[in-house]
């Protein structure tokens, strides 16, 4: 009998202590990290993407219809429980898209999508390469970051703290000073708690996974739909300062408006899984959008149109030129032919449509900053000294240029067509362009490479 009394008393004291300590947490909970997907943020070293049209789906970045994508988790990241969820939630897209996401073992050497599971500590947040940009990343690097701290059910752990449960005992055992315990500490400690049962915020895990895999399949942020959001720019800039985003980054991720073309004729869809949540104070007219955790009907329709299950080629497919494995740009002076011989080594691939590409070599100043003007009528590109080849590339073509000893792609620039440079060094810049269906202009910049400095004595 006496034993019982003691136990009850102890429990009562422990209870009051816990409640008192919880107050030290304060009442400010940090929000879920925003998605930091950048479009064309990272191509091969020395390559840039100057594409102007960001879009609701970037048709230039979509995979071929029916593609089987190999997906893996990066070595040693994530528990089996979290991996199982991400796999299941990612595969939601397969229900509507003619795409297979094949999850393969961590040690698979070549994959299309590589997921690194991190936490609030490494601050990599949530982001993904967009569509076929995934294939531009080195195999050693992830193409997607997911911050699994956001996937934990923090309310469960807070409640555990308040009731003196296993998490509370874990903290006490670690010698934590519970009198001054704060939310940042809480969010940090929860990562280390070896929970015997997974306690996930399923809807956040599902919504975030589907959003990032939406990017991996070529979808972009829905809030970029032309005219959809009347942003209060100054308050938005201020808000994203807490994530150390400068104006340019906020412009790019949040405020950028896509080309009308890339909306693919769809209506603006505030329920899209690809839409950021927007509080009313970020807009000038008080418009707001709640966090979306499920695919909308619009999402299902657009992904089914991009990757149709009932036909071979999507009606939304655009001509697509993809350059990969750009090994080198060789420029040789041929004093017999009296010309610069420009030899690029790379792979080119097209999609389901016939595509035109322009392979352009231009002269630049030694620092690579300026093109060199020319009066030559034949050897110029937009008034600058250079030469080019227009290529008609058949659908579904894969080609490796200059693989064999006999060269199959060379550009020739005769010495006499090169402006007088007064002995100054110059470089050769090689670029691949394709026509942009969205703008009708030749502004789709596919790849870029710059030679070492050269000089010409005549």
Taking CB under 5 A as the criterion, the residue among 25, 35, 171, 217 binding Zn ion is: 35
Q: How far is the CB of 41 from Zn ion (least distance, A)?
A: 12
- Specify which residues 262 forms β-bridges with: none
- We find the least distance from the C-beta atom of residue 291 to Zn ion, in angstroms, to be 13
- Smallest separation (angstroms) from Zn ion to the CB of 128: 7
- Within 13 Å and on the Cβ side, how many CA atoms surround 404? 3
35 or 339, CB closer to Zn ion? Answer: 35
Of 27-35, 178-186, 224-232, 425-433, which segment contacts Zn ion by CB under 5 A? 27-35
Q: Nearest-CB residue to Zn ion?
A: 35
Residues 261 and 55: beta-carbon distance below 8 Å: yes
Kindly provide the b/e burial profile for residues 265-296, where b requires at least 16 CB atoms within 10 angstroms of the residue's own CB. Answer: ebebbbebbbbbebeeebbeeeeebeebbebb
Alpha helices in 24-150 (DSSP H): 80-90
Q: Whose Cβ is closer to Zn ion: residue 78's or residue 125's?
A: 125
Q: How far is the CB of 242 from Zn ion (least distance, A)?
A: 18
Q: Are 126 and 211 in contact (CB under 8 A)?
A: yes
Rounded CA-CA distance 43/40 in Å is 7
Interface with Zn ion, residue 74, by CB under 5 A: no
Of positions 21, 33, 37, 62, contacts Zn ion by CB under 5 A? 37
Cβ-in-10-Å burial (0-12, 13-18, 19+) of 140 comes to exposed
> Nearest approach, Cβ of 245 to Zn ion (angstroms)?
14
User: Cβ of residue 226: shortest distance to Zn ion, in angstroms?
Assistant: 18
Owner of token pair 């060094």: 425
Residue closer to Zn ion (CB basis): 35 or 413:
35
Q: Which CB atom, from 35 or from 117, has the smaller least distance to Zn ion?
A: 35
What does the alpha-carbon distance between residue 263 and residue 261 come to, in Å, rounded to a whole number? Answer: 6
How big is the site for Zn ion, counted in residues (CB under 5 A)?
2
The residue (of 219 and 348) whose beta carbon lies closer to Zn ion is 219
Q: Which is nearer to Zn ion, 125 or 351 (CB)?
A: 125
Which parts of 245-284 interact with Zn ion (CB under 5 A)?
A: none
DSSP string, 443-457: -EEEEEEEPPPB---
Q: Which two tokens stand for residue 170?
A: 């874990």
Interface ranges with Zn ion (CB under 5 A)? 35, 37
């Amino acid at each position: 009998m006496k034993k019982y009394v003691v136990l009850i008393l102890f429990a009562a004291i422990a209870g009051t202590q816990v409640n008192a300590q919880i107050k030290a947490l304060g009442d400010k909970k940090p929000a879920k990290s925003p998605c930091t997907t950048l479009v064309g943020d990272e191509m091969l070293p020395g390559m840039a993407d100057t594409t102007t049209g960001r879009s609701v789906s970037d048709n230039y970045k979509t995979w071929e219809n029916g593609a089987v994508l190999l997906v893996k988790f990066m070595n040693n990241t994530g528990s089996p429980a979290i991996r199982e969820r991400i796999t299941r939630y990612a595969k939601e897209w397969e229900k509507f898209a003619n795409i297979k996401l094949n999850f393969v073992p961590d040690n698979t050497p070549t994959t299309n999508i590589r997921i690194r599971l991190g936490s609030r500590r490494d601050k990599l947040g949530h982001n993904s390469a967009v569509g076929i940009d995934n294939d531009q990343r080195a195999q050693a690097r992830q193409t997607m970051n997911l911050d699994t701290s956001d996937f934990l059910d923090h309310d469960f752990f807070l409640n555990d703290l308040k009731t003196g449960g296993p998490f509370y005992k874990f903290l006490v055992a670690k010698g934590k000073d519970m009198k001054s315990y704060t939310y940042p500490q809480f969010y940090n400690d929860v990562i280390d708690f070896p929970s015997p049962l997974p306690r996930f915020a399923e809807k956040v895990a599902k919504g975030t996974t589907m959003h990032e895999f939406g990017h991996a399949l070529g979808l972009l942020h829905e809030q970029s739909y032309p005219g959809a959001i009347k942003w209060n720019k100054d308050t938005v800039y201020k808000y994203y300062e807490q994530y150390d985003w400068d104006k340019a980054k906020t412009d790019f991720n949040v405020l950028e408006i896509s080309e009308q073309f890339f909306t693919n004729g769809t209506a603006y869809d505030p329920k899209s899984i690809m839409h950021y949540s927007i509080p009313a104070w970020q807009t000038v007219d008080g418009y707001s959008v709640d966090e979306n955790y499920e695919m909308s009907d619009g999402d299902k329709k657009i992904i089914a149109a991009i990757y149709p299950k009932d036909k071979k080629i999507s009606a939304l497919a655009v001509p697509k030129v993809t350059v990969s494995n750009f090994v080198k740009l060789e420029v040789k002076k041929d004093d017999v032919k009296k010309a610069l011989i420009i030899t690029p080594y790379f792979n080119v691939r097209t999609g389901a449509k016939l595509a035109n590409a322009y392979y352009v070599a231009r002269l630049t100043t030694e620092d690579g900053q300026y093109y060199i003007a020319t009066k030559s009528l034949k050897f110029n590109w937009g008034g600058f000294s250079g030469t080019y080849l227009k290529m008609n590339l058949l659908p579904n073509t894969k080609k490796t240029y200059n693989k064999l000893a006999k060269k199959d792609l060379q550009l020739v620039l005769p010495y006499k067509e090169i402006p007088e440079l007064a002995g100054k060094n110059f470089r050769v810049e090689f670029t691949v362009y394709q026509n942009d269906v969205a703008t009708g202009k030749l502004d789709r910049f596919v790849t870029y490479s710059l030679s070492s400095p050269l000089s010409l004595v005549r």
